[in-house]
Amino acid sequence: MNNKREYDFGIEAMEEAGGTAPVGDAPKKPKKRWAMKISASLVAMAMVSAGSIGIYSRVAGSNNSPAHEISEENAGNSSVTADAMNVIKTEKPGRTELTTEEIVEKVLPSVVGIESEFTMVSDSSSNDFFNGFGGFGNFGGYGNYGQQETEEKKSVGTGTGVIIDESGYIVTNAHVIYDSQYGAELADSVSVIVDGDDTYDAEIIGYDTDCDLAVLKIDADGLTAAEFGDSDALKLGESVTAIGNPLGFELMNTVTNGIVSGLDRNITINDKAMNLIQTNAAINSGNSGGPLINKYGQVIGINSAKMSSSYSGEASIEGICFAIPSNKVSDVVDDLMDYGYVTGKPQLGITCQDVTEDISEMYNMPVGVCVFEVTEGSAADRAGLEKGDIITAVDGKSVTTAEELNAEKNRHEAGDEIEIKYVRNGEENTVTVELDEKAQEE
C-alpha cells in the first residue's frame, strides 16, 4: 500500500455504505422492512415454496416468484430427546421396479400440505415504483413525499412435507416455515393437512436455513411414514417421480415425473452452497418440501429449488429443478430432532464486505474480502485476525467475495484447520485458523 490513510478511508467508506456479509457466527441481523426488489440478474435460483407467491403477492400484488435467500441462521426449540436418532433409515434400492401408479399409491399417504402464517412489516411506500429501484422515493419526489408509515400484514404461504414417522414427525424445507428474503423470519403458526382433509397445528422441532430443511411435529399417530432410499445409489438418467402442492392446495397432490438429470450438482443460492440432485420432473411454487421418488417407491430427495428467469418478459426456464439428497436429509433430521439445530457446522466468526476491483482502484486496496467485525473469542479472533484485514486466499485458493470465502469454509467441519492469507497495512500475512462449531441461534 502506498497510502495507508487512503486505505483506511476506504474501509470507513465501505462500512458506512453498509452491506456487510456474515461469515461464521456473525451477529444476527435485525428484521428488515419489506420493500419491492428488482433483480438485475437474468437467471436466478428460486425456491419452490408457494410462500414465494402466496406471501409476497398478497403484500405487493406481484405474481413473480423471488429467489429465496438462504441465510446462515439456524434455530430450533426441540423437546425431543436423543432416543429419536436415526428416525430416517435409508434403504438400499428395491429389486422390483414399480409402475408410476404403484409409486403414487405407495407414497401419497405420506405426503402432506403445509400452511405457514407470517407477519410482514411493510413501509407505506412499498408499492412506489421508484422505491423499487434502491429507494429513490426517499428523496420525497414521488409517492408519499418522504413520509413513511409502517404496517403489519398477515400473509400465508404453502408448501409440501413428507411424514417420516408414524407418530407425527414431518420433514419439509426450512424456507416453507422461515422467511429470510423479506425479514418475516419464523412463521407465527404452521398447520399441516393430512390425507387432503384433516388439519393439525404443527410444532417446529428444528430447522436449518443453510441446509434448507425443517422438522415439524403434529399430534397424531398411526400415520404412514415414507420409505427413504439411498441417494448415493442413484444413477444418471434413472426415472423419478415428484408429488406436491404446486401453487397452493387447489392442485394438491399433483404428480409429475422425469429423470435424474444430474448428480452432485454444487449449486449456490444466495451465497449458500448446496450439493443437490438435478431433475427435469416438473417442480413449481408449492412443491417445496415434497418428495422426489425413485422407481422403487423410495424417497431419494426433498424438492427445494428450480432455475427460473427473473424477468417476466423473458422465456421461462423449465426442466431444471433440484432436490436435497435423502442421505443428507437423514443426517440433518437426526440433528434437528436431537438438538434442534445441525451440529458440526464450521464457523469463522467474522462479518465482511467484498472489495471489488472498482473499490480496489478507488482506495488502493487489494481485491478480496475485507473484515469488518471479529467476534470476540471466535476462531478468527484466536488466530489474530483484525478489523480491516483483507482476506485474499483460503488454503491456497484465491477468494474475492464473501460467497467464495463461505464456500471454502463450508468444505470443512468444525475442528478442521484452514490456512488464510490476508493483507494488513500493505503487508501480506498467512495464519492457520481452527474452525469452531456453529452453535444454535437463539
Domain range summary for the chain, segments of one domain joined by +: 4-24+346-437, 34-138+149-344
Burial code (b: 16+ CB inside 10 Å, e: under 16) for 303-321 equals: bbbbbbbbbeeeeeeeebb
Q: CA-CA distance, 203 to 189, in Å (whole number)?
A: 8
Look up 175 and say whether it is catalytic. Answer: yes
- The pLDDT, as a whole number, for residue 209 is 87
Residues of the chain with pLDDT under 50: 1, 26-44, 51-84, 125-145, 311-313, 442
To which H or E segment does residue 345 belong?
none
- The pLDDT, as a whole number, for residue 285 is 85
- The pLDDT, as a whole number, for residue 171 is 96
Burial code (b: 16+ CB inside 10 Å, e: under 16) for 45-67 equals: bbbbbbbbbbbbeebbeeebbbb
Helix (H, G, I), strand (E, B) or coil at 174: helix
Which is the catalytic residue, given 165, 179, 210, 212?
212
Domain 4-24+346-437 has CATH 3.90.79.10: no
- The pLDDT, as a whole number, for residue 343 is 83
Which is the catalytic residue, given 175, 210, 334, 436?
175
- The pLDDT, as a whole number, for residue 78 is 35
- The pLDDT, as a whole number, for residue 6 is 58
- The pLDDT, as a whole number, for residue 104 is 96
- The pLDDT, as a whole number, for residue 69 is 28
* φ, ψ at 363 (rounded to 5°): -115, 10
Torsion on CA atoms 139, 144, 147, 148, rounded to nearest 10:
-110
Look up 210 and say whether it is catalytic. Answer: no
DSSP 177: H
- The pLDDT, as a whole number, for residue 12 is 61
- The pLDDT, as a whole number, for residue 318 is 80
**CATH code for the part of the protein at 34-138+149-344:** 2.40.10.120
- The pLDDT, as a whole number, for residue 216 is 94
Helix (H, G, I), strand (E, B) or coil at 115: strand
Amino acid at 186: L
Q: Do 148 and 277 form a contact (C-beta atoms < 8 A)?
A: no
Which is the catalytic residue, given 71, 125, 261, 288?
288
Look up 68 and say whether it is catalytic. Answer: no
